[in-house]
Amino acid sequence: MSKEFDALMARRPKTSFDAALSAHAVEEFWENGFTRIDRITTDEEVEWLRDVYDLLFSGKLELLPGALVKDVMIRMDNQRGDRIGQVLRPEFFIPELKQTQFYKNSEAIAKQILGHEAHLDVWGHMVRKAPKNLDIVPWHQDEGYWDPSFDYQSFGCWMPLDPATVESGCMSFIPGSNKGHVRRHGYMDGDPSVTTLVLEEEIDTSTAVPWPVPI
């Protein structure tokens, strides 16, 4: 590993922080499919995670093929630069991420939602929207990416590292869509070398609500 990486890991924050959902938030999650918590870690850890995030997207670390995608909207063999990118399972490359308060609290909140006896397969997913990029991620269900031969119960815990506002392109959700079936998805432009999936059936988005998350 580089000196930059070693120095970054040496200053990982160690302050403990406990977070939990209220009973109302748990109820809201099951009713709408999403909820929000005011704080899940410390400001110090958010600052540190920003640096980890920037390092992972910089290309300076050697990751497994396909783990870093600079632009999920186009073919893997024709990446046009930093637009809407992702890093899959960053904790595989930086195990220290599993020691963060964000990771610990995410697990605890997942057990609140799914049941404390739940066996969790916890994994990370970092997403980057480049500044001033106007590309829109198509409507989709995360479960559309998963193997349909298994019966899943899942919970995604997402934290912004910069304020996620309506103006900057925060996520939007359709309340109650978690209660329906997994809709038909397909590859963008019918091309399996494009990472992004899109819905292949019409949906009513008139009830969609933007969900800004300040930090």
Q: How confident is the model at residue 144 (pLDDT cuts 50, 70, 90)?
A: confident
Q: Is 77 strand, coil or helix? A: helix
pTM: 0.89
pLDDT digits (tens, 9 = 90+) for 186-200: 988 889 889 899 999
pLDDT of 145 strictly over 80: yes
150 pLDDT band, cuts 50/70/90, is: confident
Q: Does the structure show a pLDDT above 70 at 1?
A: no
Measured between alpha carbons, how far apart are the two ends of the chain, in Å? 31
Mean pLDDT on 96-106: 96
Q: What percent of the chain has pLDDT over 90?
A: 59
**What pLDDT score does 44 carry?**
97
Q: How far apart are CA 108 and CA 26, in angstroms?
A: 13
Confidence of residue 155 (pLDDT cuts 50, 70, 90): confident
What's the average model confidence in pLDDT over 88-94? 94
How much is the pLDDT for 159?
94
The mean pLDDT of 163-185, rounded to a whole number, is 91
Q: Are 76 and 193 in contact (CB under 8 A)?
A: yes
Nearest-5° Cα angle at 93, 196 to 114 = 65
Interval 27-58: pLDDT, tens = 999 999 999 999 999 999 999 999 999 999 99
User: Which H helix or E strand runs over 186?
Assistant: strand 185-187
Residues 162 and 206: beta-carbon distance below 8 Å: no
Q: Which spans in 33-78 are helix H?
A: 43-58
Q: Work out the pLDDT band at 120, boundaries 50, 70, 90.
A: confident
The span from the CA of 198 to the CA of 137, in Å, is 9
CA distance 34 to 97: 24
Q: The tokens of 212 are what?
A: 């800004």
